[in-house]
Amino acid sequence: MKASFSNPIQFIQQHQISRRNMLSSIPALVGLFSSGCSRDTFIPPTIRTGLIGVADVLTMSANRFLLSDQPLAREYELSDIAPEFPTWGQTDPQDEEYQQLRSRGFRGWSLPVKGLVRRPTDFTLEQLKQMPARTQITAHVCEQGWSAIGQWTGVPLVQVLNAAGGIKPTARYVMLDTVDGWYEGIDLFEVMHPQTILAYSLNGQALPIGNGAPLRLRVERQCGYKNLKFLKSIQVVDSMASFGRGTGGINSDWGFHWFGGV
């Protein structure tokens, strides 16, 4: 197990994501530091200039150091679930194709998984729902300051990547994009985490439109702006330079930090 932590690619390919296995491994700091993934785990893909860039690196490094044994984010009780899970930002994309799919109850919708995977595949919603699912009651933490607890059900991202034949050894990031033109990249450290799921259900119901139907990302150890709604496609990449302004996400293109852990 220890070796797997030092090599997320191998980890993801090996498909070992049980919590018990996680806990039994000793924090693999030495492994993380000595392996090829160390830079991506501790340092953002692009470093901003000046003191802000230094702080970005310190924040990400400190957080990832403390997360090196991949703990789960806090999971809550059913009674903690927010009475009305808020919606924020985009709540109904006015994309023509999206609206057509929506009117058909998302029949015919599919998620292309492409890039550095062995078998690029389009997965229908039904296929994703047939994969091993995970249900988690977690807090959505918006970088604005609000937070709300909800119960999400979805398929771990690792499962989806494996269903596409697994990732190639040169893979470094997973870039997701949405029907309303958002794009965010997450690194393999976050991809391999068991709570990183593509959710199709909120509080036991089909994911509401306002919360990103039919499929959204849950990346529980990062702020709301990394938890993309209205997913359109997934691309495994070795560089995010070609997306937008090249910082690895639309929010970091605007000037927020790329690492959404704080």
Partner 1 sequence: MTLKSSFGRRQWRASHPLNVRISHWVNVIAGTYLLVSGLHIFLDFPELYWGHTGYRGYPAIFKLEDWGLSWDEAGSLGNRMWGRNYHFTFAWVFLINGLIYVGWNLRTGHLQQQLWLNRDELRLDNLHRDLRQQVRWTLPRQTTTTEYGTLQKLSYLMLIFVFVPLMVLTGLAQSPGFTAAWPWLLDIFGGRQSARTLHSVGTILFIVFVILHILEVIRAGATNRIRSMFTGHLLISSSTSDIRRGGEMSSADT
User: Least Å distance between CB 75 and partner 1?
Assistant: 10
- In the chain, the amino acid numbered 77 is E
Which of 14, 25, 35, 59 binds partner 1 (CB under 8 A)? It is: 59
User: Binders of partner 1 among 155-214, rule CB under 8 A?
Assistant: none
Among 26, 29, 30, 55, binds partner 1 (CB under 8 A): 55
222 vs 196: CA distance, rounded Å: 10
Q: Which is nearer to partner 1, 3 or 262 (CB)?
A: 262
Phi-psi domain of 11 (left: phi exceeds 0; alpha: psi -120 through 50; beta: other): alpha
Whose structure tokens read 């199709």? 200
CB 17, CB 194: distance < 8 Å: yes
Return the residue of 3, 29, 58, 78 that touches partner 1, per CB under 8 A. 58
User: For residue 169, is the peptide bond before it cis, meaning its omega torsion is within 30 degrees of 0?
Assistant: no
Which residues within the stretch 226-245 sit at the binding site for partner 1 (CB under 8 A)? Answer: none
Choose the binding region for partner 1 from 48-56, 93-101, 124-132, 153-161 (rule: CB under 8 A). 48-56
Q: Write the interaction track for partner 1 spanning residues 101-140; mark x where CB under 8 A is met and - where it is not.
A: --------------------------------------x-
Residue 175 and residue 184 in contact, taking contact as beta carbons nearer than 8 Å: yes
In whole angstroms, what is the distance from residue 56 CA to residue 45 CA? 11
- Please give the structure tokens belonging to residue 65: 């150091």
Q: Least distance to partner 1 from the beta carbon of 161, Å? A: 22
Among 28, 37, 141, 250, binds partner 1 (CB under 8 A): 141
**Among residues 47, 67, 131, 137, the one that binds partner 1 under rule CB under 8 A:** 67
Whose CA is closest to 10, among 188, 205, 213? Answer: 188
63 makes contact with partner 1 (CB under 8 A)? yes
Q: For 98-133, what is the HEC assignment?
A: HHHHHHCCCCCCEEEEEECECCCEEEEHHHHHHCCC
Question: CB of 259: closest distance to partner 1 in angstroms?
Answer: 8
CA-CA distance, 229 to 89, in Å (whole number)?
10
Which amino acid belongs to residue 214? Answer: P
The residue within the footprint of partner 1, chosen from 23, 29, 54, 78 (CB under 8 A), is 54
Among 72, 131, 133, 137, binds partner 1 (CB under 8 A): 72
175 neighbors 183 (Cβ within 8 angstroms):
yes
Q: How far is the CB of 41 from partner 1 (least distance, A)?
A: 13
Handedness of CA 102, 115, 256, 192 (dihedral sign): positive
Binding residues for partner 1, rule: CB under 8 A, are 51-52, 54-56, 58-59, 63, 66-67, 71-74, 76, 80, 82-84, 86, 139, 141-149, 220-223, 254-257, 259-262
